[in-house]
Structure 1
Amino acid sequence: MTDQATPRRRDAGRTRAALLGAAAELFAERGYAQATIRDIGERAGVDPAMIARYFGGKAQLYVAVLQEETGDEELPDLGDAERLRGLVGRAVRQGPGPLYQVALQSHDDVKANEFSREELHRRIVTPLARRLAAEGVEQAQARAELLTAAFAGVLIGRTSGALPELAALDEESLTALVTRLVSSME
Protein backbone atom coordinates (compact mmCIF):
# COMPACT_ATOMS: atom_id res chain seq x y z
CA MET A 1 0.00 0.00 0.00
CA THR A 2 1.48 3.32 -1.03
CA ASP A 3 0.99 6.63 0.68
CA GLN A 4 0.63 8.67 -2.49
CA ALA A 5 -1.97 11.39 -2.70
CA THR A 6 -4.70 10.91 -5.24
CA PRO A 7 -4.17 13.31 -8.11
CA ARG A 8 -6.59 16.21 -7.96
CA ARG A 9 -9.03 16.35 -10.85
CA ARG A 10 -9.27 19.61 -12.71
CA ASP A 11 -12.64 21.24 -12.89
CA ALA A 12 -12.39 23.82 -15.67
CA GLY A 13 -15.84 25.25 -14.98
CA ARG A 14 -15.11 25.75 -11.31
CA THR A 15 -11.68 27.25 -12.00
CA ARG A 16 -13.11 29.65 -14.58
CA ALA A 17 -15.94 30.68 -12.23
CA ALA A 18 -13.52 31.19 -9.34
CA LEU A 19 -11.31 33.41 -11.49
CA LEU A 20 -14.30 35.44 -12.72
CA GLY A 21 -15.57 35.88 -9.16
CA ALA A 22 -12.20 36.86 -7.75
CA ALA A 23 -11.52 39.24 -10.64
CA ALA A 24 -14.92 40.90 -10.27
CA GLU A 25 -14.27 41.47 -6.56
CA LEU A 26 -10.75 42.80 -7.05
CA PHE A 27 -11.63 45.03 -10.02
CA ALA A 28 -14.45 46.49 -7.89
CA GLU A 29 -12.23 46.95 -4.83
CA ARG A 30 -9.04 48.18 -6.50
CA GLY A 31 -9.84 49.05 -10.08
CA TYR A 32 -8.43 47.42 -13.19
CA ALA A 33 -4.90 48.80 -12.93
CA GLN A 34 -4.37 47.86 -9.28
CA ALA A 35 -5.84 44.35 -9.46
CA THR A 36 -2.90 42.10 -10.27
CA ILE A 37 -3.01 38.71 -11.94
CA ARG A 38 -1.24 37.25 -8.92
CA ASP A 39 -3.84 38.65 -6.51
CA ILE A 40 -6.71 37.41 -8.68
CA GLY A 41 -5.25 33.90 -8.80
CA GLU A 42 -4.60 33.94 -5.07
CA ARG A 43 -8.13 35.06 -4.23
CA ALA A 44 -9.54 32.42 -6.59
CA GLY A 45 -7.34 29.76 -5.00
CA VAL A 46 -5.72 28.80 -8.30
CA ASP A 47 -2.43 29.30 -10.08
CA PRO A 48 -2.46 32.79 -11.68
CA ALA A 49 -1.23 31.16 -14.92
CA MET A 50 -4.77 29.82 -15.29
CA ILE A 51 -5.87 33.35 -16.25
CA ALA A 52 -3.85 33.07 -19.46
CA ARG A 53 -5.12 29.55 -20.05
CA TYR A 54 -8.83 30.34 -19.64
CA PHE A 55 -9.00 33.97 -20.74
CA GLY A 56 -5.80 34.92 -22.56
CA GLY A 57 -4.77 37.69 -20.17
CA LYS A 58 -5.92 40.29 -17.69
CA ALA A 59 -7.71 42.51 -20.24
CA GLN A 60 -9.67 39.57 -21.62
CA LEU A 61 -10.55 38.53 -18.05
CA TYR A 62 -11.84 42.06 -17.41
CA VAL A 63 -13.99 41.88 -20.54
CA ALA A 64 -15.28 38.45 -19.45
CA VAL A 65 -16.26 39.93 -16.07
CA LEU A 66 -18.18 42.68 -17.86
CA GLN A 67 -19.86 40.13 -20.12
CA GLU A 68 -20.88 38.07 -17.08
CA GLU A 69 -22.56 41.17 -15.63
CA THR A 70 -24.70 41.88 -18.67
CA GLY A 71 -24.83 38.69 -20.69
CA ASP A 72 -26.35 39.28 -24.10
CA GLU A 73 -28.86 41.88 -22.96
CA GLU A 74 -29.17 45.02 -25.02
CA LEU A 75 -27.70 47.90 -23.05
CA PRO A 76 -29.06 51.45 -22.89
CA ASP A 77 -26.85 54.07 -24.50
CA LEU A 78 -24.93 56.96 -22.95
CA GLY A 79 -28.01 59.16 -23.35
CA ASP A 80 -29.75 57.11 -20.65
CA ALA A 81 -29.25 59.00 -17.37
CA GLU A 82 -29.06 55.87 -15.18
CA ARG A 83 -26.65 54.13 -17.51
CA LEU A 84 -24.40 57.18 -17.69
CA ARG A 85 -24.49 57.61 -13.91
CA GLY A 86 -23.52 53.96 -13.46
CA LEU A 87 -20.63 54.14 -15.94
CA VAL A 88 -19.25 57.33 -14.43
CA GLY A 89 -19.66 55.95 -10.91
CA ARG A 90 -17.81 52.76 -11.77
CA ALA A 91 -14.98 54.73 -13.36
CA VAL A 92 -14.73 57.05 -10.34
CA ARG A 93 -14.56 54.11 -7.93
CA GLN A 94 -12.47 51.70 -10.02
CA GLY A 95 -10.73 53.80 -12.63
CA PRO A 96 -11.23 53.34 -16.35
CA GLY A 97 -10.82 49.76 -17.49
CA PRO A 98 -9.32 48.46 -20.72
CA LEU A 99 -12.49 49.19 -22.69
CA TYR A 100 -12.00 52.92 -22.31
CA GLN A 101 -8.24 52.69 -22.56
CA VAL A 102 -8.44 50.93 -25.94
CA ALA A 103 -10.55 53.82 -27.29
CA LEU A 104 -7.52 56.09 -26.92
CA GLN A 105 -4.51 53.78 -27.13
CA SER A 106 -3.97 50.17 -28.15
CA HIS A 107 -3.05 47.51 -25.63
CA ASP A 108 0.24 45.65 -26.08
CA ASP A 109 -1.67 42.41 -26.57
CA VAL A 110 -3.41 41.95 -29.95
CA LYS A 111 -6.11 39.69 -28.50
CA ALA A 112 -6.74 42.13 -25.65
CA ASN A 113 -7.24 44.85 -28.26
CA GLU A 114 -9.69 42.73 -30.21
CA PHE A 115 -11.75 41.74 -27.16
CA SER A 116 -11.72 45.24 -25.69
CA ARG A 117 -12.72 46.88 -28.96
CA GLU A 118 -15.54 44.42 -29.56
CA GLU A 119 -16.88 44.95 -26.07
CA LEU A 120 -16.48 48.76 -26.31
CA HIS A 121 -18.63 48.69 -29.43
CA ARG A 122 -21.18 46.30 -27.94
CA ARG A 123 -21.52 48.22 -24.67
CA ILE A 124 -21.06 51.86 -25.69
CA VAL A 125 -20.78 52.68 -29.41
CA THR A 126 -23.45 50.44 -30.96
CA PRO A 127 -26.35 51.30 -28.61
CA LEU A 128 -25.63 55.00 -29.08
CA ALA A 129 -25.25 54.75 -32.86
CA ARG A 130 -28.46 52.74 -33.08
CA ARG A 131 -30.45 55.39 -31.19
CA LEU A 132 -28.92 58.29 -33.09
CA ALA A 133 -29.70 56.59 -36.42
CA ALA A 134 -33.29 55.91 -35.32
CA GLU A 135 -33.62 59.62 -34.51
CA GLY A 136 -32.36 60.50 -38.00
CA VAL A 137 -29.12 62.09 -36.79
CA GLU A 138 -26.61 62.54 -39.60
CA GLN A 139 -23.41 60.50 -39.35
CA ALA A 140 -24.84 58.51 -36.45
CA GLN A 141 -21.92 56.05 -36.29
CA ALA A 142 -19.27 58.81 -36.44
CA ARG A 143 -21.10 60.80 -33.74
CA ALA A 144 -21.38 57.71 -31.54
CA GLU A 145 -17.65 57.10 -31.90
CA LEU A 146 -16.87 60.76 -31.19
CA LEU A 147 -19.00 60.68 -28.04
CA THR A 148 -17.34 57.44 -26.96
CA ALA A 149 -13.86 58.95 -27.46
CA ALA A 150 -14.86 62.07 -25.51
CA PHE A 151 -16.33 59.98 -22.70
CA ALA A 152 -13.26 57.72 -22.54
CA GLY A 153 -10.99 60.77 -22.63
CA VAL A 154 -12.77 62.33 -19.67
CA LEU A 155 -12.48 59.13 -17.64
CA ILE A 156 -8.84 58.53 -18.49
CA GLY A 157 -7.85 62.19 -18.19
CA ARG A 158 -9.42 62.27 -14.75
CA THR A 159 -7.22 59.45 -13.46
CA SER A 160 -4.00 60.32 -15.31
CA GLY A 161 -3.17 63.30 -13.14
CA ALA A 162 -2.97 65.58 -16.17
CA LEU A 163 -6.32 67.25 -15.40
CA PRO A 164 -6.39 68.07 -11.67
CA GLU A 165 -9.69 69.99 -11.64
CA LEU A 166 -11.40 67.10 -13.36
CA ALA A 167 -9.79 64.65 -10.94
CA ALA A 168 -11.05 66.69 -7.97
CA LEU A 169 -14.70 66.41 -9.01
CA ASP A 170 -16.90 64.11 -6.98
CA GLU A 171 -19.04 61.49 -8.71
CA GLU A 172 -22.19 63.62 -8.78
CA SER A 173 -20.45 66.70 -10.23
CA LEU A 174 -18.60 64.66 -12.82
CA THR A 175 -21.81 62.89 -13.84
CA ALA A 176 -23.57 66.24 -14.29
CA LEU A 177 -20.78 67.61 -16.49
CA VAL A 178 -20.52 64.43 -18.57
CA THR A 179 -24.32 64.41 -19.00
CA ARG A 180 -24.14 67.94 -20.42
CA LEU A 181 -21.24 66.95 -22.67
CA VAL A 182 -23.11 63.95 -24.06
CA SER A 183 -26.31 65.97 -24.56
CA SER A 184 -24.47 68.75 -26.39
CA MET A 185 -22.76 66.32 -28.78
CA GLU A 186 -25.80 64.27 -29.74
Structure 2
Amino acid sequence: MAPAPDTVLHSEVPSPLDVTDTHASTEASHGAEGGGLPQFEFQHWFGQIVWLVVLFITLYLLISKIFAPRLRGVIDQRASTIATAVETARKVQTEAAGQAEVAKAELAQARADSRATAAAAKTRVTEEANRRGAAEEAKVNARIAKAETAIGKTRDAAMTNVTAIATDTAAAMVKRLTGTTASAAEVAAAVKGAA
Protein backbone atom coordinates (compact mmCIF):
# COMPACT_ATOMS: atom_id res chain seq x y z
CA MET A 1 0.00 0.00 0.00
CA ALA A 2 1.33 3.40 -0.96
CA PRO A 3 1.37 6.11 1.60
CA ALA A 4 -0.84 9.06 1.17
CA PRO A 5 0.76 12.01 -0.49
CA ASP A 6 0.13 14.22 2.54
CA THR A 7 1.83 11.86 4.94
CA VAL A 8 4.86 11.33 2.70
CA LEU A 9 5.52 15.01 2.39
CA HIS A 10 5.19 15.49 6.09
CA SER A 11 7.59 12.74 7.02
CA GLU A 12 10.36 13.74 4.47
CA VAL A 13 10.55 17.45 5.32
CA PRO A 14 11.45 18.10 8.91
CA SER A 15 9.48 20.70 10.68
CA PRO A 16 11.08 23.74 12.29
CA LEU A 17 10.41 22.22 15.66
CA ASP A 18 12.37 19.14 14.70
CA VAL A 19 15.41 21.25 13.67
CA THR A 20 15.44 23.04 17.01
CA ASP A 21 15.31 19.74 18.83
CA THR A 22 18.27 18.45 16.78
CA HIS A 23 20.46 21.48 17.75
CA ALA A 24 19.51 21.17 21.37
CA SER A 25 20.45 17.49 21.42
CA THR A 26 23.84 18.24 19.69
CA GLU A 27 24.69 20.94 22.24
CA ALA A 28 23.71 18.67 25.06
CA SER A 29 25.98 15.92 23.80
CA HIS A 30 28.96 18.37 23.45
CA GLY A 31 28.27 19.82 26.89
CA ALA A 32 28.25 16.42 28.44
CA GLU A 33 31.54 15.50 26.71
CA GLY A 34 33.97 18.44 27.41
CA GLY A 35 32.43 21.39 29.16
CA GLY A 36 32.99 24.25 26.64
CA LEU A 37 36.34 25.82 25.61
CA PRO A 38 39.24 23.38 25.00
CA GLN A 39 41.74 25.71 26.71
CA PHE A 40 40.05 25.12 30.04
CA GLU A 41 40.00 21.34 29.79
CA PHE A 42 42.62 19.63 31.96
CA GLN A 43 43.63 17.17 29.29
CA HIS A 44 45.03 20.03 27.07
CA TRP A 45 46.91 21.87 29.85
CA PHE A 46 50.17 19.94 29.64
CA GLY A 47 50.64 20.76 25.94
CA GLN A 48 49.68 24.36 26.52
CA ILE A 49 52.17 24.71 29.40
CA VAL A 50 54.96 23.11 27.32
CA TRP A 51 54.34 25.51 24.46
CA LEU A 52 54.11 28.45 26.85
CA VAL A 53 57.51 27.54 28.33
CA VAL A 54 59.03 27.04 24.83
CA LEU A 55 57.70 30.41 23.62
CA PHE A 56 58.78 32.16 26.84
CA ILE A 57 62.33 30.75 26.61
CA THR A 58 62.53 31.61 22.89
CA LEU A 59 61.33 35.18 23.47
CA TYR A 60 63.63 35.55 26.51
CA LEU A 61 66.65 34.38 24.51
CA LEU A 62 65.77 36.66 21.57
CA ILE A 63 65.31 39.68 23.80
CA SER A 64 68.35 39.04 26.05
CA LYS A 65 70.80 38.00 23.32
CA ILE A 66 69.71 40.09 20.29
CA PHE A 67 67.27 42.90 20.97
CA ALA A 68 68.44 44.15 24.39
CA PRO A 69 72.16 44.36 23.43
CA ARG A 70 71.29 46.22 20.26
CA LEU A 71 69.00 48.59 22.18
CA ARG A 72 71.63 49.03 24.90
CA GLY A 73 74.24 49.76 22.20
CA VAL A 74 72.00 52.36 20.59
CA ILE A 75 71.27 53.98 23.97
CA ASP A 76 74.98 53.96 24.92
CA GLN A 77 75.95 55.40 21.54
CA ARG A 78 73.29 58.10 21.88
CA ALA A 79 74.43 58.93 25.41
CA SER A 80 78.05 59.05 24.21
CA THR A 81 77.10 61.30 21.28
CA ILE A 82 75.15 63.63 23.57
CA ALA A 83 77.99 63.72 26.12
CA THR A 84 80.52 64.45 23.37
CA ALA A 85 78.29 67.18 21.92
CA VAL A 86 77.79 68.75 25.37
CA GLU A 87 81.54 68.62 26.07
CA THR A 88 82.31 70.11 22.67
CA ALA A 89 79.72 72.85 23.26
CA ARG A 90 81.27 73.63 26.65
CA LYS A 91 84.75 73.81 25.10
CA VAL A 92 83.49 76.05 22.32
CA GLN A 93 81.68 78.23 24.85
CA THR A 94 84.83 78.49 26.98
CA GLU A 95 86.93 79.32 23.92
CA ALA A 96 84.36 81.89 22.79
CA ALA A 97 84.36 83.49 26.25
CA GLY A 98 88.17 83.59 26.19
CA GLN A 99 88.19 85.08 22.72
CA ALA A 100 85.56 87.62 23.79
CA GLU A 101 87.75 88.64 26.73
CA VAL A 102 90.80 88.90 24.47
CA ALA A 103 88.80 90.95 21.95
CA LYS A 104 87.51 93.15 24.77
CA ALA A 105 91.05 93.70 26.04
CA GLU A 106 92.29 94.41 22.50
CA LEU A 107 89.45 96.88 21.99
CA ALA A 108 90.24 98.63 25.26
CA GLN A 109 93.94 98.73 24.30
CA ALA A 110 93.07 100.06 20.84
CA ARG A 111 90.89 102.76 22.39
CA ALA A 112 93.64 103.72 24.81
CA ASP A 113 96.19 103.75 21.97
CA SER A 114 93.91 105.89 19.82
CA ARG A 115 93.34 108.31 22.69
CA ALA A 116 97.10 108.49 23.31
CA THR A 117 97.74 108.98 19.58
CA ALA A 118 95.08 111.70 19.42
CA ALA A 119 96.52 113.43 22.48
CA ALA A 120 100.05 113.19 21.04
CA ALA A 121 98.82 114.51 17.69
CA LYS A 122 96.99 117.35 19.42
CA THR A 123 100.10 118.19 21.44
CA ARG A 124 102.27 118.00 18.31
CA VAL A 125 99.87 120.17 16.33
CA THR A 126 99.63 122.66 19.21
CA GLU A 127 103.41 122.79 19.55
CA GLU A 128 103.78 123.16 15.78
CA ALA A 129 101.18 125.94 15.74
CA ASN A 130 102.90 127.66 18.67
CA ARG A 131 106.28 127.29 16.97
CA ARG A 132 104.92 128.63 13.70
CA GLY A 133 103.14 131.42 15.58
CA ALA A 134 106.35 132.31 17.39
CA ALA A 135 108.29 132.23 14.10
CA GLU A 136 105.67 134.39 12.40
CA GLU A 137 105.62 136.73 15.38
CA ALA A 138 109.43 136.94 15.26
CA LYS A 139 109.23 137.71 11.55
CA VAL A 140 106.58 140.35 12.15
CA ASN A 141 108.56 141.81 15.04
CA ALA A 142 111.67 141.88 12.84
CA ARG A 143 109.70 143.63 10.10
CA ILE A 144 108.26 146.09 12.62
CA ALA A 145 111.72 146.78 14.03
CA LYS A 146 113.09 147.23 10.52
CA ALA A 147 110.17 149.49 9.61
CA GLU A 148 110.65 151.47 12.84
CA THR A 149 114.32 151.81 12.05
CA ALA A 150 113.50 152.99 8.53
CA ILE A 151 110.86 155.34 9.92
CA GLY A 152 113.35 156.63 12.49
CA LYS A 153 115.92 157.27 9.80
CA THR A 154 113.34 158.94 7.63
CA ARG A 155 112.14 160.99 10.59
CA ASP A 156 115.69 161.94 11.54
CA ALA A 157 116.40 162.85 7.94
CA ALA A 158 113.14 164.76 7.83
CA MET A 159 113.90 166.43 11.13
CA THR A 160 117.23 167.56 9.84
CA ASN A 161 115.56 168.91 6.78
CA VAL A 162 112.74 170.36 8.87
CA THR A 163 115.19 172.41 10.87
CA ALA A 164 116.79 173.70 7.70
CA ILE A 165 113.39 174.28 6.10
CA ALA A 166 112.10 175.95 9.24
CA THR A 167 115.17 178.18 9.39
CA ASP A 168 114.78 179.10 5.74
CA THR A 169 111.04 179.64 6.16
CA ALA A 170 111.50 181.77 9.26
CA ALA A 171 114.12 183.90 7.52
CA ALA A 172 111.83 184.35 4.52
CA MET A 173 108.87 185.25 6.72
CA VAL A 174 110.88 187.80 8.71
CA LYS A 175 112.18 189.38 5.51
CA ARG A 176 108.76 189.58 4.02
CA LEU A 177 107.04 190.86 7.06
CA THR A 178 109.65 193.25 8.23
CA GLY A 179 111.52 193.79 5.08
CA THR A 180 114.83 193.27 6.88
CA THR A 181 116.98 190.23 6.75
CA ALA A 182 117.58 188.43 10.03
CA SER A 183 120.87 186.80 10.80
CA ALA A 184 121.25 183.04 10.59
CA ALA A 185 122.07 182.77 14.31
CA GLU A 186 118.92 184.67 15.29
CA VAL A 187 116.74 182.53 13.02
CA ALA A 188 118.36 179.28 14.32
CA ALA A 189 117.83 180.38 17.94
CA ALA A 190 114.21 181.26 17.23
CA VAL A 191 113.58 177.86 15.57
CA LYS A 192 115.22 175.98 18.43
CA GLY A 193 113.22 177.96 20.97
CA ALA A 194 109.98 177.13 19.11
CA ALA A 195 110.76 173.45 18.89
**Greater CA radius of gyration, 1 or 2?**
2
Tell me: higher relative CO, structure 1 or 2? Use CA pairs within 8 A at least 6 residues apart. 1
Whose helix fraction is larger, Structure 1's or Structure 2's?
Answer: 2
Q: Same fold, TM exceeding 0.5?
A: no
TM-score by length of 1: 0.19
